């Protein structure tokens, strides 16, 4: 039987990804996305860490073979960020590419965050349950890794939406932006000369930029007549 403390740890691991989906969905509250689409994206994200792990088992050792001071950056960007964001992008693209509901630029951010939070949920549970201090791990990841995955997913979704709706983006750009965000985060944590605390200004800057991009997307959707402008909105 699970103890009360065990239940608290589980909640601390599970709630942050769900909260981030709720925040993204609330941002698009003038035209809600279908629950079944968000659930499908979230579920697809949950199984993606397994695919990423298989790729990382190959790419991380290869990255570490690069000579000189490039091994750590290679591991951060190519060994970890690329496979993780690549599998998320694959799931996102396959599920939403033909959805008729995908008709606004802002939808991309909501969809991208949904699949990223599914990924983050399983990853979070694995890290927390494998930690000697699970509560501390859950709380720390709730303010670091979870926001990181959400931001990368949001940017990736926006780039996909721009490509589909405005013909101003590309799938390659979507992946590049996500890998850059994720890779910088991992580089800070992996590099012995960089203080871990640097991840917080990176996350703050990333989320500030993402929120502004989402506001711009919502404004562009209104101006293009993709949905109504609410009174006072």
Do the domain assignments include residue 93? yes
Dist. CA 162–CA 159, nearest whole Å:
5
Do the domain assignments include residue 130? yes
Do the domain assignments include residue 1? no
Do the domain assignments include residue 199? yes
Do the domain assignments include residue 189? yes
Q: What is the mean pLDDT of the chain?
A: 89
Question: What range does the domain containing 95 cover?
Answer: 11-223
Do the domain assignments include residue 3? no
Dist. CA 224–CA 196, nearest whole Å:
43
Do the domain assignments include residue 39? yes
| Angle, CA of 104, 37 and 229, to the nearest 5° | 30
Does residue 59 sit in helix, strand or coil? Answer: helix
Please say if the pLDDT value at position 1 is more than 90.
no
Do the domain assignments include residue 229? no
pLDDT in tens, 92-121: 999 988 888 888 999 999 999 999 999 999
pTM of the complete model: 0.91
Dist. CA 63–CA 187, nearest whole Å:
13
Please state the domain count of the chain.
1
């Amino acid at each position: 039987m699970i103890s009360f403390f065990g239940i608290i740890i589980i909640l601390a691991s599970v709630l942050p990804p769900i909260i981030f989906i709720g925040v993204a969905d609330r941002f698009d509250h003038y035209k809600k996305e279908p629950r079944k689409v968000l659930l499908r994206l979230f579920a697809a994200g949950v199984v993606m860490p397994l695919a990423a792990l298989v790729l990382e088992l190959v790419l991380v050792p290869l990255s570490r073979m690069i000579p000189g001071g490039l091994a750590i950056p290679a591991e951060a960007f190519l060994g970890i960020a690329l496979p993780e964001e690549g599998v998320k992008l694959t799931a996102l693209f396959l599920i939403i590419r033909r959805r008729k509901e995908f008709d606004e630029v802002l939808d991309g951010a909501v969809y991208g965050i949904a699949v990223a939070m599914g990924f983050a949920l399983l990853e979070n549970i694995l890290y927390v349950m494998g930690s000697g201090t699970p509560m501390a791990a859950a709380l720390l990841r709730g303010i670091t890794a979870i926001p990181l995955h959400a931001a990368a997913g949001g940017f990736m979704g926006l780039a996909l939406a721009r490509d589909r709706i405005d013909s101003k983006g590309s799938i390659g750009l979507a992946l590049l932006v996500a890998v850059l965000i994720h890779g910088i985060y991992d580089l800070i944590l992996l590099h012995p000369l960089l203080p871990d605390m640097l991840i917080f200004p990176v996350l703050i800057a990333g989320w500030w930029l993402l929120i502004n991009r989402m506001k711009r997307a919502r404004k562009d959707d209104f101006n293009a007549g993709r949905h109504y402008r609410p009174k006072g909105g």
